[in-house]
Amino acid sequence: MFLTFDDGPTPGVTEWVLDTLKKFGAKATFFLVGNNAKNNPELVERIVSEGHSIGNHTFNHLNGWRTPLSTYSKSALKCGEVVPGNLFRPPYGRITRAQTRRLGNRFKIIMWDVLSGDFDTELPKQKVVKNVLNNTESGSIVVFHDSAKAEPRLKYALPRVLNYLKDEGYSFKPIELK
Protein backbone atom coordinates (compact mmCIF):
# COMPACT_ATOMS: atom_id res chain seq x y z
CA MET A 1 0.00 0.00 0.00
CA PHE A 2 1.14 3.50 -0.79
CA LEU A 3 0.45 6.54 1.37
CA THR A 4 0.94 9.85 -0.40
CA PHE A 5 0.91 13.43 0.83
CA ASP A 6 0.22 16.38 -1.44
CA ASP A 7 0.83 20.13 -1.19
CA GLY A 8 3.76 20.35 1.23
CA PRO A 9 6.20 20.68 2.57
CA THR A 10 4.44 22.75 5.22
CA PRO A 11 6.37 23.72 8.37
CA GLY A 12 4.79 22.16 11.45
CA VAL A 13 2.55 19.81 9.50
CA THR A 14 5.17 17.92 7.48
CA GLU A 15 7.35 17.33 10.56
CA TRP A 16 4.32 15.93 12.38
CA VAL A 17 3.57 13.62 9.44
CA LEU A 18 7.18 12.41 9.37
CA ASP A 19 7.18 11.77 13.12
CA THR A 20 3.89 9.87 12.86
CA LEU A 21 5.09 7.75 9.94
CA LYS A 22 8.25 6.91 11.90
CA LYS A 23 6.19 5.74 14.92
CA PHE A 24 4.42 3.23 12.68
CA GLY A 25 7.46 2.22 10.62
CA ALA A 26 5.71 3.52 7.50
CA LYS A 27 7.22 5.04 4.36
CA ALA A 28 5.34 7.36 2.01
CA THR A 29 5.60 9.55 -1.05
CA PHE A 30 5.35 13.33 -0.80
CA PHE A 31 4.19 15.28 -3.86
CA LEU A 32 5.73 18.68 -3.23
CA VAL A 33 4.69 22.08 -4.47
CA GLY A 34 7.89 23.59 -5.87
CA ASN A 35 7.50 26.95 -4.17
CA ASN A 36 7.02 25.22 -0.80
CA ALA A 37 10.04 22.99 -1.43
CA LYS A 38 12.17 25.99 -2.43
CA ASN A 39 11.20 27.81 0.79
CA ASN A 40 11.68 24.74 3.04
CA PRO A 41 14.72 22.82 1.75
CA GLU A 42 15.41 21.36 5.20
CA LEU A 43 12.02 19.62 5.11
CA VAL A 44 12.71 18.20 1.65
CA GLU A 45 16.05 16.93 2.92
CA ARG A 46 14.42 15.33 5.97
CA ILE A 47 11.74 13.62 3.86
CA VAL A 48 14.37 12.05 1.63
CA SER A 49 16.85 11.23 4.43
CA GLU A 50 14.13 9.31 6.28
CA GLY A 51 13.56 7.02 3.30
CA HIS A 52 10.47 8.55 1.73
CA SER A 53 10.17 9.42 -1.94
CA ILE A 54 9.28 12.80 -3.40
CA GLY A 55 7.40 13.88 -6.47
CA ASN A 56 6.52 17.01 -8.40
CA HIS A 57 3.17 18.78 -7.77
CA THR A 58 3.91 21.83 -10.00
CA PHE A 59 5.64 24.93 -8.74
CA ASN A 60 2.47 26.85 -7.89
CA HIS A 61 -0.22 24.15 -7.43
CA LEU A 62 -1.88 24.77 -10.77
CA ASN A 63 -5.20 23.33 -11.88
CA GLY A 64 -4.46 21.75 -15.25
CA TRP A 65 -8.00 22.19 -16.53
CA ARG A 66 -7.74 25.96 -16.03
CA THR A 67 -4.12 26.51 -17.08
CA PRO A 68 -2.69 26.83 -20.61
CA LEU A 69 -0.37 24.05 -21.73
CA SER A 70 2.78 26.17 -21.82
CA THR A 71 2.17 27.70 -18.37
CA TYR A 72 1.43 24.30 -16.84
CA SER A 73 4.46 22.67 -18.43
CA LYS A 74 6.75 25.49 -17.29
CA SER A 75 5.43 25.18 -13.73
CA ALA A 76 6.12 21.43 -13.70
CA LEU A 77 9.61 21.91 -15.11
CA LYS A 78 10.35 24.73 -12.64
CA CYS A 79 9.23 22.47 -9.79
CA GLY A 80 11.59 19.82 -11.17
CA GLU A 81 14.49 22.19 -10.52
CA VAL A 82 13.88 21.93 -6.74
CA VAL A 83 12.10 18.55 -6.55
CA PRO A 84 14.29 15.99 -8.31
CA GLY A 85 12.97 12.77 -9.77
CA ASN A 86 10.41 11.59 -12.25
CA LEU A 87 7.20 11.30 -10.22
CA PHE A 88 4.43 13.80 -10.96
CA ARG A 89 0.95 14.28 -9.54
CA PRO A 90 -1.33 16.92 -11.03
CA PRO A 91 -2.88 19.20 -8.40
CA TYR A 92 -6.59 18.44 -7.92
CA GLY A 93 -6.05 15.43 -10.19
CA ARG A 94 -6.73 17.78 -13.09
CA ILE A 95 -4.60 17.42 -16.16
CA THR A 96 -5.50 17.68 -19.84
CA ARG A 97 -4.54 15.18 -22.53
CA ALA A 98 -2.17 17.72 -24.05
CA GLN A 99 -0.48 18.29 -20.68
CA THR A 100 -0.20 14.53 -20.19
CA ARG A 101 1.44 14.14 -23.59
CA ARG A 102 3.84 17.02 -22.94
CA LEU A 103 4.88 15.84 -19.46
CA GLY A 104 4.59 12.10 -20.01
CA ASN A 105 8.06 11.81 -21.54
CA ARG A 106 9.67 13.48 -18.51
CA PHE A 107 7.48 12.23 -15.67
CA LYS A 108 5.51 9.21 -14.53
CA ILE A 109 2.09 10.60 -13.65
CA ILE A 110 0.81 9.11 -10.40
CA MET A 111 -2.85 9.42 -9.48
CA TRP A 112 -4.65 7.68 -6.58
CA ASP A 113 -7.53 5.34 -5.94
CA VAL A 114 -8.38 6.44 -2.39
CA LEU A 115 -9.04 10.11 -1.61
CA SER A 116 -9.05 10.77 2.13
CA GLY A 117 -10.90 14.08 1.81
CA ASP A 118 -8.78 15.65 4.55
CA PHE A 119 -8.62 18.89 2.53
CA ASP A 120 -12.41 19.37 2.84
CA THR A 121 -13.02 21.76 5.75
CA GLU A 122 -16.70 20.68 5.88
CA LEU A 123 -15.91 16.96 6.20
CA PRO A 124 -15.99 15.56 9.74
CA LYS A 125 -12.63 14.10 10.75
CA GLN A 126 -14.23 10.70 11.42
CA LYS A 127 -15.38 10.59 7.78
CA VAL A 128 -11.78 11.04 6.61
CA VAL A 129 -10.88 7.85 8.47
CA LYS A 130 -13.88 6.02 7.00
CA ASN A 131 -13.05 7.25 3.48
CA VAL A 132 -9.67 5.58 3.73
CA LEU A 133 -10.58 2.41 5.61
CA ASN A 134 -13.69 1.66 3.55
CA ASN A 135 -11.90 2.04 0.20
CA THR A 136 -8.40 0.69 0.76
CA GLU A 137 -7.19 -2.62 -0.56
CA SER A 138 -3.81 -4.16 -1.28
CA GLY A 139 -1.87 -1.89 -3.65
CA SER A 140 -4.04 1.18 -3.03
CA ILE A 141 -2.58 4.64 -3.43
CA VAL A 142 -4.08 6.84 -0.70
CA VAL A 143 -3.82 10.62 -0.79
CA PHE A 144 -3.59 12.85 2.27
CA HIS A 145 -2.41 16.47 2.37
CA ASP A 146 0.39 17.88 4.54
CA SER A 147 -1.09 21.37 4.43
CA ALA A 148 -2.37 23.82 7.02
CA LYS A 149 -5.88 23.52 5.58
CA ALA A 150 -5.95 19.73 6.04
CA GLU A 151 -4.07 19.67 9.36
CA PRO A 152 -6.98 19.24 11.82
CA ARG A 153 -8.47 16.29 9.91
CA LEU A 154 -5.06 14.83 9.03
CA LYS A 155 -3.91 14.82 12.66
CA TYR A 156 -7.04 12.93 13.65
CA ALA A 157 -7.11 10.50 10.74
CA LEU A 158 -3.52 9.52 9.98
CA PRO A 159 -2.64 7.77 13.26
CA ARG A 160 -5.97 5.93 13.27
CA VAL A 161 -5.56 4.83 9.66
CA LEU A 162 -1.98 3.69 10.23
CA ASN A 163 -2.87 1.84 13.40
CA TYR A 164 -5.83 0.02 11.87
CA LEU A 165 -4.16 -0.88 8.58
CA LYS A 166 -0.95 -2.00 10.28
CA ASP A 167 -3.01 -4.29 12.54
CA GLU A 168 -4.64 -5.66 9.36
CA GLY A 169 -1.20 -6.60 8.04
CA TYR A 170 -0.60 -3.78 5.57
CA SER A 171 2.86 -2.36 5.00
CA PHE A 172 3.51 1.13 3.69
CA LYS A 173 6.07 1.77 0.96
CA PRO A 174 7.19 4.80 -1.04
CA ILE A 175 6.47 4.92 -4.75
CA GLU A 176 9.78 4.55 -6.54
CA LEU A 177 10.56 4.37 -10.21
CA LYS A 178 13.89 3.57 -11.76
- Distance between CA atoms of 103 and 41, rounded to whole angstroms? 24
Q: Which of 52, 57, 61, 145 is catalytic?
A: 145
> Please, are residues 9 and 43 in contact by the beta-carbon 8 Å criterion?
yes
CA dist list (Å): 25 to 22, 41, 153, 162: 5, 24, 21, 10
> Please, are residues 149 and 171 in contact by the beta-carbon 8 Å criterion?
no
Give 102-159 as a DSSP string: HHHTT-EE---SEE--TT-TTS-HHHHHHHHHTT--TT-EEEEE-STTTHHHHHHHHH
CA torsion angle 151 152 158 164 (round to 10):
-170
118 an active-site residue? Answer: no
Q: Which of 6, 7, 118, 146 is catalytic?
A: 6
145 an active-site residue? Answer: yes
| Residues carrying an active site annotation | 6, 145
